[in-house]
Every structure is written in structure tokens, then in C-alpha cells.
Amino acid sequence: MNNIENIYKFADSLACETKLNEPMKKHTSFKIGGNAAVYIKVDSLSKLCKFVRQCKLTDTKYFLLGNGSNILVDDNGMDCAVIKLDGDFKEIRMIDSETVYCGAGATLAALCKFALNNSLSGLEFAWGIPGSVGGAAFMNAGAYGGEMKDVVVSVNHITDDGAIGRIDKENLEFGYRTSAYRKNNCIITGITLKLKSDNPDDIRHRMDDFMSRRIDKQPLEFPSAGSVFKRPEGNYAGALIEQCGFKGKGVGGAEVSEKHAGFIINKSNATAKDVKELISQIQTTVKKETGYDLECELIML
């Protein structure tokens, strides 16, 4: 019996929802990707700790899936265990009048609604970002002048040995689309945020304003993974790509959005190979014509 079959049986023994050969295109905003060898929903911290320890013991690789909004899965799929946080990991609760705890499996949308319903400001920038809370902390998600680092005070995690831990803000190493979790191999399980009390009508107005801007400027009507490239110092990826004439150009079913050149969309049954080839063409041309190196923000699996 191979590792995948063993880990499938182990997850099943924990009463986790478990599937073999699960199509990853069902779990990514790009709607692209082959099958995961095994897909497992974990609904409690104790189960997650046990599962990670078992993976360590059996030398089984795993990947923690957030909301699938910033990844490109290979057409051949993922020969590993894909973990999806559910159940307890979607909990959102008040700690005090301006402090909130949120599980890593909750969506940013759910967290923003919770803040609004409790008259708390600070997360308006995140309204409309289609990621999970854990993923947002992992990459220090941001928009419209706000970032997760502005509101996160600590992050809870488990190590790759299945031990429970926490990192406070001063050691989170937040930067542009990065954090300490980019390199420490820990699984984020939840975050604590410090927000500010405000008038709910004012909060709603700011949320509506940001959402309106997204709808106007981003190709939300097509599957995509958001901004493909990080912002280069002194310029904007979308502007450079448009300058090089890529708007509306494509490879196979993948196309540079005519609405915003920083987005690659799945226009018509695109494959990961299509997207990778288009990314390569963009990087080569932008470097040749402008001198800028475009670094992918997209995580390729």
C-alpha cells in the first residue's frame, strides 16, 4: 500500500471528509488543474495535529489549500495530500470590544461582514479579495492602501511536527506579499486582529466604494487568480504589460484581460500549460522592451 492510500485511510479514521483523485479545478478560482491524489477536509485542531504528525511519520507530502484564489495547479495534478480547513477553522468571534479571532479557513468576505456587523473598521480594503483568512495572512494580502499587517496582531499555527504555536506581530516579518510563513513550513490555523470601532454606515460606504472599483477595473466575470505579477519597484505590472501590447492576447484558452492587463483570465477551457506559456511570453517581452523583471505573485503547484 502506498503513502497516499495509507494517508487516505488515516484521514478516514479521523472522520474527515476524504476523496481520492479530486479535480483541483473545482477548488481554484482559475478553474484549472489536474487531480489531487487525496483531498481532505479537516474540521478541528486536534485532527489537524494528528494528520500532520502522520504525514511526517510516513513522509507524505501535503499542501494546505486556502480559497484557491492565488494558485495555478499543474495539468498533471498534485501527487500529495491536499488539506482544506473546515468546521472549527471557520469560527469568527470577539475577544474584546475591538479584538477579533478568526479561523484560517474562514473567507475574507465572512470576516469583513463580521467586522461590519460589529461596527469595526480596518478591513474595508479586504472586501472583495476572494481569499481565505489564512491565505491572506500568509501572503500579507492588501489593496487600496491597506494590508493584513495593519490589523493582524498575532497568528496561530501548527508546525510540521504537529505542535501548536503562535507568532506575534513583531516577528511576523510582513512585507509586500510575504510573511514569516513563506519559509517556516507551518500551517496557519487562525489570526487575531485589532480593529477600531466606527459608524457602520461609514464602514459600509467604504466597502461599497472599494467593491465598485474592483467591479469597474477587474475582470470578475471570468475565472482568474487575481494579479499575476508582483508590483515592480517604480512601476505597475499591468501598465508594463499593456505598454508591450499584450492586452487581449492569449495562448490557447488563456488570455490577458482587456479590462486589466495585470490579470490573466481563463477565457475558454485554458490549461495550466497555456497560462505558463503566456506568463513566459509576457516576462520575456517586458524584460526586453522595458528592462523590468516581472516576478509572479501566482503560486504554481
Active-site residue list: 177, 227, 297
Q: Sort 181 into a burial class: Cβ within 10 Å, 0-12 / 13-18 / 19+.
A: buried
Judge whether 111 and 129 are in contact, CB under 8 Å. no
User: Is 98 in a helix, a strand, or coil?
Assistant: coil
For residue 220, give Cα distances in angstroms to 13, 120, 145, 152, 211: 40, 27, 21, 27, 11
**Which residue type is seen at 281?**
Q
In whole angstroms, what is the distance from residue 248 CA to residue 244 CA? 12
Judge whether 190 and 101 are in contact, CB under 8 Å. yes
Give the closest residue to 131 by CA, choosing from 179, 66, 87, 188. Answer: 66
**Which residue type is seen at 275?**
V
Would you give the DSSP letter of residue 132? B
In sequence order, the β-bridge partners of residue 299 are 71
In whole angstroms, what is the distance from residue 189 CA to residue 300 CA? 22
Give the closest residue to 15 by CA, choosing from 37, 46, 53, 36. Answer: 46
In whole angstroms, what is the distance from residue 255 CA to residue 247 CA? 8
